[in-house]
Amino acid sequence: MARQFGGKHSPQAKGASPAQKAAQVALAEDRRVDAAGAKSNLMFAPPVILAFTSLTGGPVALTAGLIGAAILALAAWLLREGLRAEAAFAARPIARRPALPRKILAAALTGIGVAIAASMKAGDVVGGLLYGIAAGGLHLAAFGLDPLKDKRVEGIDTFQQERVARVVDEAETYLNTIRDQIAALNDRALETRVASFRGLVRQMIRTVEEDPRDLTQARKYLGVYLMGARDATVKFADLYRRTGDAQARADYEALLTDLEANFAASTQKMLEGGRTDMDIEIKVLRDRLQREGVRAPLE
């Protein structure tokens, strides 16, 4: 019978703190296989081949070949981004459909690129169009359509779920900026430290997604104060990259510790169903961010 792994490095290991568990989860998410996969990367090969085979075909063939190669390369890029957007959509309980149907556009552009290439090689426009239609259809069959409907939770009104999706999108943008700023420093210890914070924030995000009624409590944390954490990270990364100031690093880690404590406590209150006022915690966060030189925007 299968059993849950419980070694000393497991997130469920005895004695592991919530921050350690959150860091392990966040690092595991960062190491997750790219949703685009090898198949989408192979789609960059045809435009390269088309460009090279057009070099010896004369000026008309060269121009047509380069145009077709550019269209196919754009299609491959759209496909890769569309697969990533689809994976992010599937991973969340509440999500808005992608604003741009990248996979569908990629199929259409693939058909156009193939039609240009086939017409150039065979000298038959009608035949090229047929090849293009076939290529577009096969592209859709291989990679599918983009999500065309928003993902919602039964029993929660549309307006509330739309608010959750908007706040979560904004929070994920802030978290990605924080991760990228610290990753640019090439400091493994700092990356792990920030992963702990990101993991705790995502616990709050998941709690809100599972019960959008918690959004009222979480909105300031996932919006105003997470924005402040992003701004503080940008300032710290810029200073530390130039000076390597140990005191700045200590101050930044202390800020993360305070933020983690508040996010973890607030998430626990939501999980326990508490509806107590969070004005005190929010004031503490505001004061701390202001001491770090980050002014929260007016609400």
Q: pLDDT for 112-156, tens place per residue?
A: 999 998 887 767 788 889 999 999 999 999 898 988 887 766 656
Closest by Cα among 211, 220, 208, 230 to 280 = 220
- Same domain? 260 vs 184: yes
- Report the percent of the chain where pLDDT is more than 90: 21
**298 or 63, greater pLDDT:** 63
Compute the average pLDDT of residues 237-266: 88
Q: Does residue 219 have a pLDDT over 70?
A: yes
| Alpha helices (runs of H) in 184-278, residue ranges in sequence order | 188-210, 215-220, 226-243, 246-271
- Burial code of 168-195, b = ≥16 C-beta within 10 A, e = fewer? beebbebbebbbebbeebeeeebbebbb
Measured CA to CA, the distance from residue 12 to residue 21 in angstroms comes to: 7
33 residue type, one letter:
V
**Residue 167: C-alpha distances to residues 130, 157, 159, 163, 273 (Å):** 45, 16, 13, 6, 21
> Of 86, 119, 143, which residue sits at a domain end?
143
Q: Does residue 3 have a pLDDT over 50?
A: no
Token pair, residue 252, equals 């930044």
Domain presence at residue 252? yes
Compute the average pLDDT of residues 42-50: 90
For every residue of 272-299, DSSP letters joined together read: TT-----HHHHHHHHHHHHHTT-PPPP-
- Same domain? 281 vs 167: yes
Domain presence at residue 42? yes
pLDDT at 11: 47
**20 or 251, greater pLDDT:** 251
- Same domain? 167 vs 139: no
- Same domain? 179 vs 114: no
Is the pTM higher than 0.85? The answer reads no
Domain presence at residue 19? no
- Same domain? 72 vs 45: yes
Phi–psi pair at 95, nearest 5 degrees? -155, 145
- Same domain? 269 vs 168: yes
- Give strand pairing partners of 151: 95
pLDDT at 21: 59
pLDDT at 117: 87
Torsion of CA 22, 34, 229, 16, to 10 degrees: 10
Closest by Cα among 177, 202, 211 to 263 = 202
* Residue located via tokens 């149907």: 101
Label residue 268 by pLDDT band (50, 70, 90). Answer: confident
- Same domain? 67 vs 178: no
- Same domain? 104 vs 226: no
- Same domain? 169 vs 107: no
pLDDT at 2: 36
> Of 110, 143, 176, which residue sits at a domain end?
143
Contact 270, 204 (CB under 8 A): yes
- Same domain? 287 vs 164: yes
Compute the average pLDDT of residues 159-187: 85
Domain presence at residue 53? yes
- Report the percent of the chain where pLDDT is more than 70: 75
- Same domain? 121 vs 211: no
pLDDT at 98: 81
- Same domain? 91 vs 122: yes
Domain presence at residue 249? yes
Which residues constitute the domain of residue 94? Answer: 30-143
> Of 143, 175, 202, which residue sits at a domain end?
143
Domain presence at residue 272? yes
Count up the domains in the chain and report the number.
Answer: 2
Measured CA to CA, the distance from residue 49 to residue 239 in angstroms comes to: 45
Measured CA to CA, the distance from residue 37 to residue 102 in angstroms comes to: 16
Domain presence at residue 80? yes
**Residue 194: C-alpha distances to residues 33, 122, 187, 254 (Å):** 21, 56, 11, 12
260 residue type, one letter:
E
Domain presence at residue 90? yes
